[in-house]
Amino acid sequence: MIKLISNITYLHLKKIERCRLLIEVRWHGRGGQGVVTSSELLALAAIYEGKYVYHAPEFGPERRGAPVRAYTRIDNEPIEQHFGIYEPDIVVVIDPTLQTEVDYILSGLKKNGMLILNADEPYEKVIEKAKMNDIRVWYVNAYDIAMDIFGRPFYNTPMLGALVKASNIVNLESVNRAIEEKFKGRGKEIIQKNIQAVELANKEVKQYES
């Protein structure tokens, strides 16, 4: 029988390796922030670990200036389903200003799911609403990390690093390999900085505890 596991933690994964794993991630950000790239990097990292993936850009209509979404579906069996992700296990909000759009970012997020925010302090209304659904909130100040490393607000790779720590869907090494592959034409410095950003966010990300 297929066993769908929606409440994921890495501890579970190890125990039930031989059974079906299905994790769905939704990414939020704005145009130009590399939302699609972070989803793609996660997908590539999962492929390196022998998993199956479906990474897709926005399913809904896209408008200039409007928030952008991307989706990653990860499984250890071939993925047949090609529909959009409406009830994600994990939501990653790359853009710091979007955390105030509480209903938008929490839309469909499963009970016991996970929310990862780019914030110095999570917005209180998000926390409130997340609590109602037993959603675990993680947060990291990716702005500071990005400004320290890139000198520009590139949040996507730090947020990927945060996701890896919070969920452990993939290993950090796989993410770094994906970055090397994806940015191989862009020079060593870009690769190193992105890896550094991933690792730093991976260390700094914290689970919110009231």
CA–CA separation, 177 vs 210, rounded Å?
36
The answer to whether residue 11 forms part of the interface with another protein (CB under 8 A) is no
**Cβ 75 to another protein shortest distance, Å:** 10
- Site size with another protein, rule: CB under 8 A: 28
Query: Mind giving me the DSSP string for 33-68?
Result: S-HHHHHHHHHHHHHHTT-EEEEEE-SS---TTSEE
Q: Does 193 bind another protein (CB under 8 A)?
A: no
Question: Quick check: 1 binds another protein (CB under 8 A)?
Answer: yes
39 close to 55: Cβ distance less than 8 angstroms:
yes
Look up residue 204 and give its amino acid: E
Percentages helix, strand, coil for the chain (3-state, rounded to 5) are 45, 20, 40
Q: Which is nearer to another protein, 2 or 132 (CB)?
A: 2
Min separation Cβ 13 and another protein, Å: 13
Q: Could you say which residues in the range 114-173 bind another protein, by CB under 8 A?
A: none
Question: Nearest Cα to 135, choosing from 92, 100, 189?
Answer: 92
Q: Is 6 in the site for another protein (CB under 8 A)?
A: no
Question: Per rule CB under 8 A, is residue 187 in the interface with another protein?
Answer: no
Instruction: Please give the residue ranges that form the binding site for another protein (CB under 8 A).
Output: 1-2, 18-20, 40, 43-44, 47, 50-57, 59, 76-84, 86
